[in-house]
Amino acid sequence: MDAFLHVSEKDFEKEVLQSAQPVVVEFGAVWCQPCKQLEPVLAKLGQGWNGKARLAKVDVDESVNLAMKFQVMSVPTVILFVNGKATARFSGFQPPDKILKKLGL
């Protein structure tokens, strides 16, 4: 089973911005090598969040408007949304301890 909820422009509002719990969104692309390295790390971290946060993924090639709206200039870019607001973000591959520190989870 995929650890990530796949989100597009049509359901981003409902699944991320209106989510009752924080959502960690990875903006990536199928051709992106660092994204492929980062995703298993995020998935493993996500298992330890025990419902404190959800993991979602946006394909920037399919959801160009979302990428522009959140100023995603490079992939992967990970943004933490809490109560519909972007509260933390980082770009590129990061080790697990740095990810946890940046996201505060």
Q: Report helix angle 33-47 to 96-103, nearest 10.
A: 70
CA–CA distance, 50 with 25 (Å, rounded to integer): 17
The pLDDT of residue 16 is: 98
Q: Per-residue confidence of the chain (105 residues) as pLDDT tens digits?
A: 578 999 999 999 999 999 999 999 999 999 999 999 999 999 999 998 888 899 999 999 999 999 999 999 999 999 999 999 999 999 999 999 999 999 988
This prediction's pTM: 0.95
Give me the sign of the Cα torsion angle 58, 55, 84, 75: negative
Q: What is the CATH number of the domain that holds 45?
A: 3.40.30.10
Where in the sequence is the domain holding 78, given as residue range(s)? Answer: 5-103
Name the domain count of the chain. Answer: 1
DSSP 7-30: --TTTHIIIIIT-SS-EEEEEE-T
- Report the catalytic residues: 32, 35
